[in-house]
Chains A and B, each alone.
Chain A
Amino acid sequence: MRDQPVLSLRVAAAEAIAPTLRRVSLRAADGARLPPAAAGAHITLSLPASGHARPLKNAYTLVSADLEHGYTLIVRRTDPTRGGSQHIHEALAVGDVLEASVPHNLFALHSQAKKVLMIGGGIGITPLLAFIAALRARGTRFELHQICNSADLRVFAALIGAQPGEAVHLHAGRSTFDAAVVLGAQPLGTHVYSCGPAALMDAIAAQAAALGWPASHVHREDFGAAGGEPFTLTIGTSGARITVAADQTMLEALEAAGIDAGSLCRGGACGVCALPVRAGELEHRDHYLSADERQSGAVVMPCVSRARGDSLVLDI
Chain B
Amino acid sequence: MTIAFKPDETFRGDFRYANSPAAILRFPFPFDQDSYMYGINMEPHTRSTMGGAFAAAFDVDEHYVAECAERAAVLAADPGRCQVLPHMVEAEWDTLELIMESLSADYPEHFTLEREGDDWIWTNRPLSLHQRFRFGDPSSLPQSPFEYIARQAQGDFTLQDQRDGTLYMDGGIATTQADWSLSFDLGMTFHEWHGPVPLAHQKGVFDRALSYLMRVRYGHPARRLNWTMTVHPRLDTSPENYPVWGAGPHHFDGGQHRRDAAFAGRIADILPAAALERAAVLHPRLSCQHR
Taking Cβ atoms with an 8 Å cutoff, the residues of A that contact B are: 1-5, 33, 35-36, 38, 67, 102-104, 108, 110-112, 216, 264, 270-272
Contacts and interface: CB of A to CB of B under 8 A. Distances in A.
Contact of B217 (A33, A104, A112): A104
Q: Which 4 A-B pairs give the minimum distances between C-beta atoms?
A: A102-B219, A111-B87, A4-B219, A102-B218
Contacts of B219: 1-5, 35, 102
B163 A110 contact: yes
Given A3-B57, A103-B218, A104-B217, A216 B97 contact: no
B118 to A, nearest CB: 8
B94 A3 contact: no
Interface stretch (B5-13, B98-106, B150-158, B268-276): B98-106
Nearest to A264: B217
Contacts of A270: 215
A138 to B, nearest CB: 9
A2 B215 contact: no
A36 B97 contact: yes
B218 A1 contact: yes
B105 A104 contact: no
B220 A3 contact: yes
Contact of A5 (B57, B102, B162, B220): B220
B258 interface: no
Interface size range on B against A: 20 to 34
Nearest to A101: B219
Contacts of B87: 111-112
B111 to A, nearest CB: 14
Given A2-B105, A36-B94, A270-B215, 17 more contacts: A1-B97, A1-B101, A1-B219, A2-B219, A3-B47, A3-B57, A3-B219, A35-B219, A36-B97, A67-B118, A104-B217, A104-B218, A108-B163, A110-B163, A111-B87, A111-B161, A271-B215
A174 B105 CA distance: 52
A5 B216 CA distance: 12
Q: Is the interface of B mostly helix, strand, loop or mixed?
A: mixed
A264 B221 CA distance: 16
B164 A216 contact: yes
B132 interface: no
A264 B220 CA distance: 12
Interface string B144-173: 000000000000000001111000001000
A2 B57 contact: yes
A36 B97 CA distance: 10
Nearest to B87: A111
B217 A102 contact: yes
Nearest to A134: B90
A35 B94 CA distance: 10
Contacts of B117: 67
23 contacts: A1-B97, A1-B218, A1-B219, A2-B57, A2-B102, A2-B105, A2-B219, A3-B45, A3-B47, A3-B57, A3-B219, A3-B221, A5-B220, A35-B218, A36-B94, A38-B90, A67-B117, A102-B217, A104-B218, A111-B87, A111-B170, A112-B163, A264-B217
Contacts of A272: 215
Contacts of A271: 215
A6 to B, nearest CB: 9
Contacts of A110: 163
B266 to A, nearest CB: 31
A265 B221 CA distance: 18
B115 interface: yes
Contacts of A67: 117-118
Nearest to A102: B219
